[in-house]
Chains A and B, each alone.
Chain A
């Protein structure tokens, strides 16, 4: 088992994320309540990190800070050594709800993400088409979000997040709102897409199996206040099989640990 090479390839040079002593508080009835405390994380370029935790442990807040939607925190977040300042096109995010704009077609939704890119119209069009094909939605270019199923809309959201070729892709419980079968299928799809794109991925989830199946590393987050707990390194090449014994062992152990004995 240990003979298998690490699954992140050496050619990915950018997309290293360093989080240094990150803390965040929310005011509650005028008093600051800590949501994240002393988070230290180093994520290698091209690594797939799953952050596993119960709801309310601050894992989604962590993603909001990384994507730049909330500038109010202590500590540092560095992308390739540079401190972050607000949102940027080198970071893409997929939320639990697809958040496609209902008044735009799939194609228009994805093209909007390219709005601030210095590319020609034809080149943008090509990128949009490529990414629609990448997530398997060819033929639905002109469909409105309400005409797509939940799983298809979420694929669209993934295409929109990837069309900028981000160095870091953030996934905030991306399959949390989908039915079990669609979820399994989309996990497989995500693995295929990631093997192809090899950007750095941070996926937040409360699904142990999902975290193990996709992650090079699984980080367990503890709640109140949110902090880093156990880290599991998974030396297992992608694409993976779901029923691998190693994943199963980890699953049993994490389950016992998270849910209690």
Chain B
């Protein structure tokens, strides 16, 4: 591969940047509303130098990891139970499939009233957002396992802890990791949205404060960082996905 080809992905961001600079330069919008790229970069450097950006990022990411870990693990456990147990399925399936249709954003007003606008509210909503995609992917991943795998397990009289840990989960890993990816992206988006509405720190709060003080440069830094963080999270999970489902791709 030529060194230029490796940089192909850079073309579209550079083009966007150029367009942005050109439109800002043409003064179609007031300069304090459509801030030119260079000034946004300067604000970014300032926020970084004062440590303000790091503080907001740390706030957002700690909420994300706490809520996401709780939601994803619960989703994994619930999904496994529902896929393997007819009883759990019979009792929970209709409710589960109804609840997963409710957008997390729609729960914000109610959760704010119940839990206030503190950490609990944000962690809970992130956990809720992560729970459903992971649970759904786990259910469907385990259901899609060929019956022949379970027959072999039956022949060797594997008990259910072994069955879950050595057969069901590994076989469903590719589906589960895809679900985890979806969940993480959604959880991040929902978290930033929640911080916009109610928070005393975090990337969303930084954006909201910037808006209120008409510091659109700060808003744009926040928006860009949100995108970059989301991309980085998804990118690393893609790597994990490829590693964990190596046996599957190569088997085809």
Contacts and interface: CB of A to CB of B under 8 A. Distances in A.
A126 interface: no
B148 A113 contact: no
Nearest to B167: A101
A34 B248 CA distance: 39
A103 B170 contact: yes
A115 B151 contact: no
Contact of B155 (A87, A104, A145): A87
Given A103-B173, A146-B250, A93 B149 contact: no
A115 to B, nearest CB: 6
A88 interface: yes
B159 A116 contact: yes
Given A112-B166, A116-B159, A102 B154 contact: no
Contact of B156 (A103, A116, A144, A147): A116
A87 B158 CA distance: 10
B29 interface: no
Interface in A69-98: 69, 86-89, 91-93, 95, 97
Contacts of B149: 99, 101
A199 interface: no
A144 B247 contact: yes
A152 B69 CA distance: 42
A147 B246 CA distance: 12
A225 to B, nearest CB: 24
Contacts of A91: 155
B162 interface: yes
B148 A95 contact: yes
B171 A103 contact: yes
A186 interface: no
A67 interface: yes
Nearest to B159: A116
Nearest to A92: B155
Output the residue of A89, A99, A164 with the most chain B CB within 10 A. Answer: A99
B156 A146 contact: no
Bin chain B's interface residue count. 20 to 34
A119 to B, nearest CB: 14
Interface residues of A, number: 26
A251 to B, nearest CB: 32
B99 interface: no
Interface in B135-168: 148-149, 151-152, 154-159, 162, 166-167
Nearest to A163: B156
Nearest to B150: A69
Contacts of A95: 148
A67 B158 contact: no
Contacts of A102: 247-248, 251
Nearest to B158: A115
Nearest to A157: B152
A68 to B, nearest CB: 8
Interface string B237-252: 0000000000110110
A2 to B, nearest CB: 39
Nearest to A146: B251
A103 B151 CA distance: 17
A145 B247 CA distance: 9
A146 B173 CA distance: 17
Interface string A108-125: 000011011000000000
Contacts of B156: 87, 89, 112-113, 115-116, 164
Contacts of B248: 102-103
A67 B153 CA distance: 12
A99 B251 contact: no
Given A103-B247, A112-B166, A146-B247, A88 B148 contact: no
Contact of A112 (B148, B151, B158, B159): B158
26 contacts: A68-B155, A69-B151, A87-B155, A87-B156, A91-B155, A93-B155, A95-B148, A99-B148, A99-B151, A101-B152, A101-B167, A101-B170, A101-B171, A102-B248, A103-B170, A103-B247, A104-B166, A112-B166, A115-B162, A116-B156, A116-B157, A116-B158, A116-B159, A145-B251, A147-B250, A164-B156
5 smallest A-B Cβ distances: which pairs? A146-B251, A103-B170, A103-B247, A102-B247, A113-B156
Interface of B: 148-149, 151-152, 154-159, 162, 166-167, 170-171, 173, 247-248, 250-251
Given A89-B156, A115-B158, A116-B159, 10 more contacts: A69-B154, A69-B155, A101-B170, A102-B248, A103-B173, A104-B166, A104-B170, A116-B158, A144-B247, A146-B250
